[in-house]
């Protein structure tokens, strides 16, 4: 198991050059090769930024993605019509920011049997692997996130029920994991923010309205996640939970208590990346449900504001969590990505760098010099 004590969730702010290239590509002004060159340059810059900041875990910043979960809909036929709005709907709130109220697009719904045109993230990994000697991490979406793309009306011919649809999503992700493992990827993270969304009555109503009760999400949903991870000796799996992260806003509040016992005990991931950056996330008490063979990565550094957490405050919070879980089984990270979609959080690249550097610095202070 990868046991480093500093980590980060994955996404980084998209640089302006890449955002302009995306706009020009969408408008037909440049071709795919030019867009690829802009993505490559952004990834190279992201790797350099992470290494300079002292990160032990390196990602490609998700620079090739519209959203953290969009590589699925881009690589697989059958999802029907979709755009960025498919990943942004909900009631979003932020500290000192106007609320966003976005309706779920009515056109969403898988319209055909899912068929993979290409692997989702293999190309991302191969490019990243050749550019760093540190731990290269790939992030993949949890199957349950794609309940958003099942519609009892639009999907009934291809998938009469949610179970069949999510089984197919999980199959594609399971094949992805197998190929990444074959190619030597040692750290794969499953992003599963829909579980904390079950804490809020309004968002839970949507997920239960798709056909699964809360209990089903904590049985069938976890079973699908475990099936995606499978059995791959030498691969460490992370499992990331958050409460929504777009444009420095969030969707829900509430501690992990109602879902912790089943989720923490039954999920097979070795590293749980959990959001704890402010009072919305509750206290550390639910960590008592984490089995002794898992590590908990405490998301104590916020990606939503530029405020830089003091080293002393981070050390104090880690030691507070260590009353429940042994210190050597804890690690530190930002609470979520810096740019869950191309709509990044309200930070500059320098403020992002300072956050990553603070995580690395705090980890060295708490656990000693990196073993890397």
**What does the pLDDT look like over 15-61, one tens digit per residue?**
999 999 999 999 999 999 999 999 999 999 999 999 999 999 999 99
The helix/strand/coil state of 142 is coil
Of 62, 101, 68, 98, give the one whose Cα is nearest residue 84: 68
User: 92 - beta bridge partners?
Assistant: 100
b/e string for 295-317 if b means 16 or more Cβ within 10 A? bbbbbbbbbbbbeebeeeebeeb
- In a domain? residue 175: yes
pTM of the shown model = 0.97
Q: What is the dihedral of CA 298, 301, 304, 310, to 10 degrees?
A: 150
pLDDT at 372 over 50: no
- Write the pLDDT tens digit of every residue in 182-207: 999 999 999 999 999 999 998 999 99
pLDDT in tens, 197-255: 999 998 999 999 999 999 999 999 999 999 999 999 999 999 999 999 999 999 999 99
Q: Give dist(CA 235, CA 335) in Å, integer.
A: 23
> Is residue 1 in some structural domain?
no
- Torsion angle of C-alpha atoms 332, 144, 66, 79, degrees rounded to 10: 170
204 falls within a domain: yes
The angle subtended at Cα 104 by Cα 74 and Cα 22, nearest 5°, is 40
Structural domain range at position 64: 16-367
Rounded average pLDDT over 108-112:
97
Rounded to whole angstroms, the Cα distance separating 157 from 127 reads: 38
Angle at 249 between CA 254 and CA 214, to 5 degrees: 35
pLDDT for the residue numbered 369: 64
Number of domains in the chain: 1
CATH of the domain at 297: 3.20.20.210
Q: Is 9 domain-assigned?
A: no
Model confidence at 292, pLDDT cuts 50, 70, 90, reads very high
Q: State residue 371's pLDDT score.
A: 40
Report the distance separating Cα 268 and Cα 235, nearest Å.
Answer: 12
Spatial neighbors of 152 by CB under 8 A, at least 6 apart, are 211
pLDDT in tens, 5-15: 999 999 999 99
**Is 279 contained in some domain?**
yes
Q: Quick check: is 6 in a domain?
A: no
Over the stretch 314-330, which tens digit does the pLDDT of each residue have?
999 999 999 999 999 99
Residue 127 domain-assigned (yes or no):
yes
Distance between CA atoms of 13 and 353, rounded to whole angstroms? 10
The pLDDT value given to residue 173: 98
Q: What is the percent of the chain with per-residue pLDDT over 90, rounded to a whole number?
A: 98
Task: Identify the pLDDT of residue 358.
Answer: 98
23-48 burial: b if 16+ Cβ within 10 Å, else e: eebeeeebeeeebeebbbebbebbbe
Mean pLDDT (the chain, rounded)? 96
Task: Evaluate whether residue 226 is within a structural domain.
Answer: yes
């Amino acid at each position: 198991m990868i046991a480093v004590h500093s980590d980060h969730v994955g996404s980084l702010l998209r640089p302006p050059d890449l955002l302009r290239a995306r706009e020009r590509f969408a408008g037909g002004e440049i071709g795919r090769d030019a867009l690829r060159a802009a993505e490559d340059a952004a990834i190279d810059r992201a790797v350099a930024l992470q290494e300079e900041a002292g990160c032990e875990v390196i990602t490609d910043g998700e620079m090739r993605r519209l959203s953290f979960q969009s590589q699925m809909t881009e690589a697989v036929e059958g999802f029907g019509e979709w755009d960025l709005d498919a990943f942004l709907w909900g009631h979003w709130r932020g500290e000192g920011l106007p609320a966003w109220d976005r309706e779920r697009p009515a056109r969403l719904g898988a319209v055909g049997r899912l068929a993979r045109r290409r692997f989702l993230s293999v190309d991302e990994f191969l490019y990243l692997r050749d550019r760093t000697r540190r731990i290269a991490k790939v992030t993949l979406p949890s199957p349950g996130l794609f309940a958003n793309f099942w519609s009892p009306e639009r999907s009934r011919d291809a998938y009469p029920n949610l179970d069949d649809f999510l089984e197919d999503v999980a199959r594609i992700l399971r094949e992805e994991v197998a190929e990444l493992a074959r190619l030597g990827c040692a750290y794969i993270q499953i992003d599963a923010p829909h579980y904390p969304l079950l804490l809020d009555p309004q968002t839970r109503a949507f997920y239960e309205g798709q056909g699964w009760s809360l209990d089903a999400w904590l049985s069938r949903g976890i079973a699908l996640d475990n099936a995606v991870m499978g059995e791959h000796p030498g691969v460490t799996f992370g499992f990331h939970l958050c409460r929504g992260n777009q444009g420095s806003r969030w969707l829900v509040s509430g501690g992990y208590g109602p879902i912790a016992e089943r989720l923490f005990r039954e999920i097979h991931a070795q590293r749980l990346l959990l959001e704890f950056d402010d009072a919305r996330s509750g206290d550390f008490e639910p960590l008592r449900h984490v089995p002794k063979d898992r590590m908990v990565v405490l998301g104590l550094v916020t990606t939503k504001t530029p405020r830089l957490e003091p080293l002393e405050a981070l050390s104090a919070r880690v030691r507070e969590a260590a009353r429940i879980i042994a210190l050597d089984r804890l690690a530190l990270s930002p609470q979520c990505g810096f740019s869950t979609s191309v709509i990044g959080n309200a930070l500059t690249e320098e403020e992002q760098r300072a956050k990553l550097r603070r995580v690395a610095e705090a980890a060295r202070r708490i656990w000693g010099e990196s073993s890397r």
